[in-house]
Structure 1
Amino acid sequence: MTESLADPHVRHPGPAGVPEGPRDIVILGSTGSIGTQAVDVVLSNPGRFRVTGLSAAGSRPALLAGQAHRLQVRTVAVAREDRVGQVRQALRAEYGVGEPIPEVLAGPDAATELAAGECHTVLNGITGSIGLAPTLAALESGRTLALANKESLIVGGPLVKAVARPGQIVPVDSEHSALFQALLGGARGEVRKLLVTASGGPFRGRTKAELADVTPDEALAHPTWDMGPVITVNSATLVNKGLEVIEAHLLYDVPFERIEVVVHPQSAVHSMVEFTDGSTLAQCGPPDMRLPIALGMGWPERVPDAGPVFDWSKAMSWEFLPLDAGAFPAVPLAFRVGRLGGTAPAVYNAANEECVEAFLSGRLPFSGIVDTVAAVVEEHGEPRGTALTLADVLDAETWARARARELATAAAEARA
């Protein structure tokens, strides 16, 4: 195996010259699901973490201003320039008379600028491939990257691998945090298989035909996790699990044939590692993202009482089931896309984001999400064999989004 991006045995030292004391953190996507829980972790550990900057789209100005004030951050980054005025107004309302408000960065590159600034760790909790540029900026600036934005690694894997140093990335996804922890149980050469667990979403056990009439409200009702709408729909289609398979391959440098998805409805075991001697190590805990978030921000130290624990005095039953690839073809499609490499993962992810939007707006049926993504991936074809550049990724995404919209529109017109 070559060096992996997230090797728990290799501990990135962090930026040189950082003084002792609270660790300076930048939180990207602070008003989203990951970001709000990260803020909770910080507020519960005031002597351990100090947030210097926050970024958000700007669609929740009051929440962003409240976070900035409570955390006393120096800088706030707002992606949507049309929301900057509302954010400034909310900041002035939140802060007292004579109390200086934070510096406000504005525009699509604001989060990237913030990620490159002075801090120890950047927590990238942005949703979607727009997180790629901040990921690269944090890595190039030598920051430790607590990575919850799986899409940036998936669409720009070779770009990330070219700049990341061993141990510089600490994964925050519950599954990859679990693998990260379980891998401590053996040497890298002793790893036989990565077992990525999936809750199965709200439609576990249904056939492909039974999924045809699923509504957005049903798809957004995840049985165990509380997440944003895009990730929740991705969990219902299992696209999210497909993305995690690609991410596991890139993070841990394990071939696709040695990665397996296992359905585990209780979401208690977050993933497992099988070793060459036959041992399998699992990381488990109640489904709560605060634990992997805290580990990502605090690594190599654990944060006491970061998340809830099981009550072992009560009876529990955990199930493990094989994946129904026929009903949920997003996972085998992701294996194919991951093996293709190049811009294929970017096409898969971008087409899916457009299809999820079309489904939530009623323009595409639930089963049409993955069918349309597969059609776009097929049309995209084989990789061209040249070295991947950021321009290649952006061009592929633009094409995939446009083509997915065209196919979704044609499907809606056909049903009308």
Structure 2
Amino acid sequence: MRTLLHVDMDAFYASVALRDRPDLIDKPVLVGGATRGVVLSATYPARVHGISGGMPMTRARRLCPEAVVLPPDFDAYAETARGIRAIFESVTAVVEAASIDEAFLDITGSLRRLGDPVGIGELIRAKVFDEQGITCSVGIGPTKFVAKLASNAAKPDGLREVTPGEVVPFLHQLPVEAMWGVGEATAEKLHRLGLHQVAELAYTPSETLQRAFGRHQGALLHDLAWGRDPRPVVSRPPERSVGSEETFGRDTDDETVVRRELLRMADRTASRMRAAGVMGRTVVLTIRFADYTQITRSGTMRELSDASGEIHARAIALWEALALRRARIRKVGVRVQGLVDRSEAHLQPELGEPEQGWREAEQAMDAAVARFGPKAVQRASLTRSRNHAEIERPDRAVGFSWPTNEPTLEEPSR
């Protein structure tokens, strides 16, 4: 029998933003672009108005006109996430991050050292609040599925333990919408079958569910309704990447504007790589069109680099290979993957290459910007008017993403 925890930060982006704005703690606050994009996070005073993450910002502003909108700060989120993970790893080595703001912990091997599960959960909550200044909710259960639902039941800023003997009563009183992976489409199909509670789902023969949802999904629904979830917590090293992305103030088909913003994103990405002390070789270009469809293209540089020019050159080559004609663009992004620490990077200088080059010049630019502000040193082409490229959804910074093996019946809305 395993003892698992699911730890979920409460309104993570908004909570991090409010650390510097205590005057907004009891007010409705949204994190995202002021007029475009979606709500990335909403405080609980905002959620009472029906606002949720993934909702278009325009709709959220209509639901709660008095809400305060704050821009996201992905640098702060990444730094906070690293601190939180360190807290988790001080409790157990078996940590599986499901996203930047939630993780599963297998504390079976920590019980003898740290005490009972509730005590461990409260220890984590206290450390997160003391060290990071935000709250979290903890769910305890014998499976990942039950622990996840327990943390949802504990929100906000709470703890809920579901013992093995309480699993079935706990699950069967829930609506089917609470099931892992059940979105609007699946819930509607379950309702058409007359299934509204998890108890009704559990007592439906597995064969019936498999005929309605397919062999795998039907069996999964039936097993989860009885709390059967054999998947272990699996620790994975984070896939490190650094990137920037920007949503235009309005859709554009002007290739000059797109190219200029790709330079800006490459410049910003390279600067963040140098600040983080990393280098990379794989450049990923992201393009989102006006109809919200999105494509990504990747390519490798000649060698590991953190230089703006080299990253930009590869991004432009990827853009030109798309051969788009008057396509209306909503967002562009440049990301570098496959990072290694600069101290571990082997660079082979070319014959006749000067000892001092663009990399050293950009390091000097970084120092000037750090001391005198972002406008201390700029590329001439980036000082032009940005009427067509007003930032509405600030870009992602140093990112850490973990793959997950959660069961999904459909793509969840974000």
TM-score grouping bracket, smaller chain normalisation: under 0.3
TM-score for both structures, normalised by structure 1:
0.25
TM-score when normalising by structure 2? 0.25
Higher radius of gyration, 1 or 2: 2
